[in-house]
Amino acid sequence: MKKKPKTLAMILAGGRVDDLTVLTFHRPKSAVPFGGFARVIDFPLSNLMNSGLDRVAILSQYRSYSLINHVGIGEAWDMIGRYRGISILPPYLGYGHSQWYRGSSDAVYQNLDFVRFIEPDELLILSGDHVYRMDYRQLLSYHRQKDADLTMACIRVPMEEAHRFGLADIDDEDGEVGGRVIRYREKPEKPEYNWASLTVFCFKPNVLYQILEDNIREDASYEFGRDIIPRMMKEKRRVYGFKFSGYWGYTRTINEYWQTNMDLLGPDPKIQYAEWNVRTNLEHRSIRDCQPLKIGNNARVTDSLIYNGCTVEGEVEHSILFPGTRVEKGARVKDSVLFFNNVVGRDSVLDRVVSDVNTAFGREVRIGAEGEAGPKDPAVVGWNNTIAPGTVLGSGVTVYPCLSTATIPKMVGTGEVIR
């Protein structure tokens, strides 16, 4: 008989990150499509499945429909059954203290009744928008071994980038495995250490209950990195760092999102879907019902991931195409990520482009970095757009979703925003 789980996982999946601009206008960041068939949230969900942790709550707030539709009842991750399952916990307005989530720690605080009902021995809190593979059982084992109040997974980042992250100074108590966190700072201007928090936290529930109560009562903000961890450090709680050395894809900005997708390609991909055992919901957008990939006699495909439901008559190089995308004769797609149901017209060129769903590019369109010198930012095209034939858009251009064709100029320079 399945035993009641000792660990409850809560995934913070409700936020919209403005740095992803038009990709998160109509969905939370965790539901952004990734890598040809998946969503970003598939990575923590698959990690939980592969770690044997199958009691999960997803804290969702911003435009939750896409996320709810994708997660479904949790069947894709084998999370159905007694003492197993995925519960989606949106904020609610009504009796008592209910209100919109005011931050990551407030999201957990507003659902403490759910946590207390489960009565877990450990509470595992995860970000829903990072791309990585981790066996959480190793973290949990270390947490129990150290009798920690909080164990946080950290990865070493370059010192010049450290100011962007919550940073822990971890001693050498357990060498490469981890150690006591002796200092912690959230996004310091001048970092002195560079173990960055992965937003993978394991708490003793009773300790967290008290810390959350104090945070809500006394603080002006409600975030784990900004408020909860510093409060625990000030109170000299047992805070440990678990040192992670694997791949970690940060997707906060368009450039990072694009690069993390590109890490699926090349002769030695940093992300291995099969090796990582990544699951997704194949019922979402009817992926499982797509026809096989069709490649024309004169088409050319190199170093790309192209999924069922696609038709390629042109050229695709170092790119990722989601189901339903069509590349017509004479068209060329390079260094790009095209979401579901894009159409690239004859003799068009897309170079370093991220295009959201249901976008059509007319004949002889030129978008992106082709022919431009120096560093090039990806161009981003929002969903449900039709780009008129002959249009030329430079690198780093952003096109808002659902524009009328007449709204989009025929020629736009580098980095401009069309809305």
Quick one: pLDDT at residue 324? 96
| Cα separation, 261 vs 273, whole angstroms | 12
**Nearest CA-CA partner of 215 in 231, 199, 200, 201:** 231
| pLDDT (0 to 100) of residue 372 | 78
Spatial distance between the Cα atoms of 242 and 183, rounded to a whole number of angstroms:
14
Q: What is the pTM of this model?
A: 0.94
Question: Residue ranges of the domains in the chain?
Answer: 7-262, 290-418
199 residue type, one letter: T
Q: At the top level of CATH, which class does the domain 290-418 belong to?
A: mainly beta
As a whole number of angstroms, the distance between CA 384 and CA 401 comes to 6
Per-residue confidence (pLDDT) for residue 15, from 0 to 100 = 65
**pLDDT for position 97:** 56
At residue 180, φ and ψ (nearest 5 deg) are -70, 135
How confident is the model at residue 16, as a pLDDT? Answer: 60
pLDDT tens figures, 264-321: 999 999 999 999 999 999 998 888 899 999 999 999 999 999 999 999 999 999 999 9
Identify the CATH number of the domain defined by range 7-262. Answer: 3.90.550.10
Q: Is 358 left (phi over 0), alpha (psi -120 to 50) or beta?
A: left
What is the pLDDT at residue 369? 83
Closest CA to 312 of 302, 330, 299, 303: 299
Q: Which of 261, 253, 360, 248 is nearest to 304 (CA)?
A: 261
Can you give the pLDDT at residue 393? 97
Which regions of the chain are under pLDDT 50?
1
